[in-house]
Amino acid sequence: MSRTFRLYYPVLPTIAEQTPHRAVYVGEAEDRCQIFAWNRRTGTTRQLTARRAGTTRAALDPAGETVWWFDDDLAGTGRWQLVDFAGFTGPRLALPETASGRPAGLAMAADGTAVIGLTGERGLTLHVRHPDGSHRVARSLDDYAYVVDVDAAGQLIVVGADPAGADAVTVYTADGEQSAVLAGGQDRRVWALGFAPGTSRLLLVVEADGDYRLATWTPGDGLRHHDAHRFPTEITACWYPDGEHVLVRQDRHAESRLYRVSLATADQAPIAVPTGSVLDAAVWPDGDVAYVWTDAATPPQLCSTGGMALPAEDGAGPRTGAAPAARRRDIWVPGPGGDIHALVTTPADRTGPAPAVFLVHGGPSEHARNAYDPVVDLLVHTGCAVVRVNYRGSSGYGAAWRSDFPAGVGHTQLEDLAAVRQRLVDDGVVLADRTALWGHSWGGYLTLLAVGVQPDLWRLGIAVTPIADYIAAFHGSSPAVRALDRKLFGGTPDDVPERYLRASPVTYVDQVRAPVFLAVATDDVRCPPEPVEQYAALLTRRSVPNRLLRLHAGHEDVDARNHVALMQAVLPFMQRHFDGVRDEGTPIALALARPAG
């Protein structure tokens, strides 16, 4: 029986503010993400893009007349294209006289005036495009930043940067003059979220005293804190159409909660959603709360409080493969920095200790969720227990947990992984000599660091688009990633070289004994492939079993066939080097789909 391994792009459709029956969404065509127009009134859809690399970035002007989509290469560099929603004209360049760049936000005023953020090696450039097609550069910044929003009148532009920086949020006039600066700090981070419909009232989240609070800013009154609405763990929020209420999405302990909040009062009403994770949520112009929901057993579902009608799943095929029965439970384990939360999934048909794969999330400030993950399903099918640890640095557990790195970058997280591993060994859940690590991006980095720093604990490492040499990766990565690294390490490799060296897996390559599977993406600008290839060569020189798989892709790969190739390469490697993995000769089929209805 073929095993269907599906990918999901869990982002809500974008609705036109002035014509809510028109929308665009990311759907599937020939195993790739593409952009589709959706007329909610007639129930019809139309495919707008057919790019070989797939397309995931799109927007719709407020009138619902023009669709924007980003035509990028695998490294993420490209240009915005325009196409009529109704299909009367084909793609045309939005900024024909502007060079390619990386997208850093797109926002539109009520009349369709667009503010476009593009980044290059020197920082952010703000472009303003008017409905008649005329265009000008409003401002250029030297550092990495991104466009948050423009007010309905097109007079105020909000730019976000490092939320802990002195220029966490900056408001510019339409001419590019600085109007206001909202500063953050190490214990007071600030995020801007967007203007209320039809106004210049800006919604923000402020971290203060370990809580996350709502705040607003207006040109006349400045910053106002709404202290009645505070949350102990991370939140994001968006406006209701009335401009007085806010939809809050809270991440807490691997699950999500939604609230309808009144900024004028202390009223805070929970919105009933099933137990699990809300991956995206918004209030649409007609007041309907739309959200993407999932749990460990259910692929992402597009839901709403108003029971919206959904576009047809033309040719999408089956939603899931035949999943084996599994047991899932949460555990809390005492660790060096406090109790560590982990999600443990074990095969229902297996008794006694099992081989275990620690599926390490990336970020570092993401988190493992009570959410459907096809890799978990696949690994349980092979007879392995799957452990997902929300180590220090993970979101959903409060500001103190997210910023706690006392042992240094990477090493703090390894302490927590080791503590959870030991607890599960002591409890007879996993086999002490059969524990492996599997991670993507920063999770892949932790995998490589662990097999070098903790060689006695881990018997196999699978690292997909990882960081192998932090110094080399810094110099080869994009401005956005370099900005994150400077924050993480407290400077550049020239400023604090010893911190980068201590955190780099290549520093410990001579201690690695476990077989290592490595996958790199040829056009990855977040985790460049060359240092990983050099790391593989060092393993080969020391006769450590390893395999290097090169995928023609960028860091965020939306080509389903690459994921098939990865799984078809990883599983035989595991079966060869990790005793106890079942091989039932099950072929893997893979498809990609938007959230299901």
The domain that holds 426 is classified in CATH as 3.40.50.1820
Statement to judge: residues 522 and 426 lie in one domain: yes
Domain boundary among 285, 315, 345: 315
Per-residue pLDDT at 223: 96
> What Cα–Cα distance (Å) separates residue 435 from each residue in 95, 104, 430, 455, 508?
52, 40, 7, 11, 19
User: Is 37 contained in some domain?
Assistant: no
Domain boundary among 289, 315, 341: 315
> Partners of 10 in the beta sheet?
none
Statement to judge: residues 360 and 410 lie in one domain: yes
Statement to judge: residues 443 and 542 lie in one domain: yes
Statement to judge: residues 238 and 284 lie in one domain: yes
User: Is 51 contained in some domain?
Assistant: no
User: Is 162 contained in some domain?
Assistant: no
Statement to judge: residues 399 and 275 lie in one domain: no
Contacts of 121 (CB under 8 A, 6+ apart): 479
Per-residue pLDDT at 193: 97
User: Which residue in this structure is represented by tokens 């106890």?
Assistant: 580
Per-residue pLDDT at 369: 96
Statement to judge: residues 335 and 288 lie in one domain: no
Helix (H) or strand (E) run with residue 533 in it:
helix 529-541
Assess whether the previous peptide bond of 364 is cis (omega < 30° from 0): yes
Per-residue pLDDT at 316: 38
- Helix, strand, coil percent content, the chain, rounded in steps of 5: 15, 40, 40
* Per-residue pLDDT reduced to its tens digit, 256-308: 999 999 999 999 999 999 999 999 999 998 889 999 999 999 988 889 888 77
Statement to judge: residues 332 and 378 lie in one domain: yes
Domain boundary among 296, 315, 334: 315
User: Is 446 contained in some domain?
Assistant: yes
User: Is 8 contained in some domain?
Assistant: no
Statement to judge: residues 236 and 308 lie in one domain: yes
Nearest to 509 by CA among 461, 576, 437: 461
> What Cα–Cα distance (Å) separates residue 481 from each residue in 402, 432, 489?
18, 36, 12
Statement to judge: residues 388 and 529 lie in one domain: yes
CA dihedral 223, 227, 233, 238 (to 10 degrees): -60
Domain that holds residue 448: 326-469+508-555
* Per-residue pLDDT reduced to its tens digit, 109-134: 999 999 999 998 788 999 999 999 99
Q: What are the pLDDT tens digits along the chain (597 aa)?
A: 345 545 566 789 999 999 999 999 998 888 788 999 999 888 899 999 999 888 999 999 999 999 999 999 988 999 999 999 988 777 999 999 999 999 999 999 999 999 999 998 788 999 999 999 999 999 999 888 999 999 999 999 999 999 999 999 999 999 999 999 999 998 899 999 999 999 999 999 999 889 999 999 999 999 999 999 999 999 999 999 999 999 999 999 999 999 999 999 999 999 999 999 999 999 998 889 999 999 999 988 889 888 776 665 443 333 334 445 789 999 999 999 999 999 999 999 888 899 999 999 998 889 999 999 989 988 998 899 999 999 999 999 999 999 999 999 999 999 999 999 999 999 999 999 999 999 999 999 999 999 999 999 999 999 999 999 999 999 998 888 898 999 899 999 999 999 999 999 999 999 999 999 999 999 888 899 999 999 999 999 999 999 999 999 888 877 777 888 898 899 999 999 998 676 654 444 443 344 444
User: Is 186 contained in some domain?
Assistant: no
> What Cα–Cα distance (Å) separates residue 540 from each residue in 214, 245, 424, 445, 518?
53, 59, 32, 19, 12
Statement to judge: residues 304 and 370 lie in one domain: no
In eight-state DSSP terms, residue 59 is E
Statement to judge: residues 343 and 422 lie in one domain: yes
Statement to judge: residues 309 and 448 lie in one domain: no
* pTM score: 0.92
What is the domain-level CATH number for residue 279? Answer: 2.120.10.30
Q: Report the DSSP pairing between strands 354-360 and 338-347.
A: unpaired
User: Is 411 contained in some domain?
Assistant: yes
User: Is 382 contained in some domain?
Assistant: yes
Number of domains in the chain: 2
